[in-house]
């Protein structure tokens, strides 16, 4: 087996041109009569994707944390009221919400059935490891990781039946972290879950895709800026004895500057999500990022850890 390893490594490179020709030549999916469920549609990518898929002709179930909130109401207005876009209550941390969402989808399935699940819901924050209490780690794992798994397991029978698609929202932060290890941790975990699921679902004709955006903080508003005072007030007495307010201010300025540099064009990411749902040969991973972000991923993947640590330590020091 291991003697054939070099050939196995070369095989994808040899098949890549053929795969690209197939992607160009095959017909794209016909959306009419197919249903897609999206989580996290109150704002950000989920909101944009729900509207885009609705315009394309899909029947869209838009899961919102606050179905009576401004984001959900705006979504309904922009979609033109009732019809093929239906807003529903969906907190991915609550099993009863997921069950109710499945029942609603089953009772309103269009003629071609359930085509896609988009696990988009997520939360983010920054802070060094000891700054965040255990309750915050549990909350992030429940929303970003277990929430996606919980929803996927519920809809897997439907996806197998209709040979549909599952799309997961990851991030380039799955490869490295710049002070937001709690978010990076959950995205790295979801990548491994997807890798296992993608291989297992091939025999059923279900395709699994991962979206890896770069910094789109201005588009999604997933992480609001935090002041040094807000961070300081949440620290335990033990952490306050280690860090001073000047250091906290420096870190807050650094993190907030990263947020302000994020792209405001969320439609770039939505384009990738639409391709994952409609392409005859979708990619396993869609990285939507700036060149410098892709370079960081490249360095992280191919160079020794000490090199990446040096690069990130330099960035943090600046």
Q: How far is CA 214 from the centre of its chain?
A: 11
Would you state the pLDDT for residue 318?
65
For residues 78-90, one letter each, b for 16 or more C-beta atoms within 10 angstroms of the residue's C-beta and e for the rest, the string is ebeeeebbbbbbb
The total of other beta-carbon atoms located within 10 Å of residue 210's CB is 26
Predicted pLDDT of residue 62: 98
DSSP 261: T
Q: CA 315, CA 102: separation in Å to the nearest integer?
A: 45
Residue carrying the six token digits 């885009």: 52
pLDDT confidence of residue 316:
75
CATH topology assigned to domain 30-224+265-290: Rossmann fold (3.40.50)
Note the pLDDT of residue 308.
87
Point out which residues pair with 61 in neighbouring strands: 37, 86
Q: Which two tokens stand for residue 54?
A: 């609705």
- Catalytic residue, from 162, 175, 183, 286: name it: 183
Burial 32-71 (b: 16+ CB within 10 A, else e): eebbbbbbbbbbbbbbbbbbbbbebebbbbbbbbebeeeb
pLDDT of residue 317: 74
Judged on CB neighbours under 10 Å (0-12, 13-18, 19+), 234 is middle
Token pair 């879950």 in the structure block, residue:
193
Alpha-carbon dihedral 84, 87, 88, 89, rounded to 10 degrees? 170
pLDDT string in tens for the chain (318-residue length)? 455 544 554 555 555 555 555 555 567 899 999 999 999 999 999 999 999 999 999 999 999 999 999 999 999 999 986 579 999 999 999 999 999 999 999 999 999 999 999 999 999 998 999 999 999 999 999 999 999 999 999 999 999 999 999 999 999 999 998 888 999 999 999 999 999 999 999 999 999 999 999 999 999 988 888 899 999 999 999 999 999 999 999 999 999 999 999 999 999 999 999 999 999 999 999 999 999 999 999 998 899 999 888 988 887 776
Report d(CA 131, CA 17) in Å as an integer: 48
Mapped onto helix, strand or coil, the DSSP state of residue 224 is: coil
Q: CA–CA separation, 25 vs 38, rounded Å?
A: 28
Q: For residue 317, what are the contacts with CB-CB under 8 A and spacing of at least 6?
A: none
**For 270, phi and psi rounded to 5 degrees?**
-60, -35
As a residue count, the chain comes to 318
CA 103 – CA 313 distance, rounded (Å): 49
Is 183 noted as a catalytic residue in this protein?
Answer: yes
């Amino acid at each position: 087996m291991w003697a054939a390893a070099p050939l196995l490594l070369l095989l994808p490179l040899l098949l890549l041109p053929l795969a690209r020709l197939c992607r160009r030549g095959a017909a794209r999916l016909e959306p009419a009569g197919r249903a897609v469920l999206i989580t996290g549609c109150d704002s950000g990518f989920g909101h944009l994707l729900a509207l885009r898929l609705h315009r394309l002709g899909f029947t869209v179930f838009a899961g919102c944390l606050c179905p009576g909130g401004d984001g959900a109401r705006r979504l309904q207005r922009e979609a033109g009221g009732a019809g093929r876009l239906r807003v529903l209550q969906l907190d991915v941390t609550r099993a009863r919400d997921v069950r109710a969402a499945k029942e609603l989808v089953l009772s309103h399935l269009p003629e071609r059935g359930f085509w896609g699940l988009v696990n988009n819901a997520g939360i983010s924050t920054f802070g060094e490891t000891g700054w965040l209490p255990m309750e915050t780690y549990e909350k992030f794992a429940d929303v970003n990781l277990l929430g996606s798994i919980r929803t996927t397991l519920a809809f897997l029978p439907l996806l197998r039946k209709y040979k549909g698609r599952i799309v997961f929202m990851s991030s380039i932060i799955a490869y490295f972290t710049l002070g937001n290890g709690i978010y990076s941790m959950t995205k790295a975990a979801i990548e491994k879950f997807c890798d296992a699921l993608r291989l297992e679902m091939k025999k059923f004709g279900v395709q699994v895709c991962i979206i890896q955006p770069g910094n789109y903080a201005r588009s999604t508003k997933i992480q609001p800026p935090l002041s040094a005072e807000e961070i300081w007030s949440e620290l335990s007495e033990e952490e306050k004895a280690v860090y001073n307010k000047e250091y906290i201010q420096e870190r807050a300025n650094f993190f907030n500057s990263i947020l302000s540099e994020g792209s405001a064009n969320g439609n770039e990411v939505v384009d990738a999500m639409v391709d994952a749902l409609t392409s005859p040969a979708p990619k396993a991973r869609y990285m939507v990022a700036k060149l410098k972000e892709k370079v960081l991923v490249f360095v992280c993947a191919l160079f020794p850890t000490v090199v990446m640590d040096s690069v990130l330590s330099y960035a943090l020091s600046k």
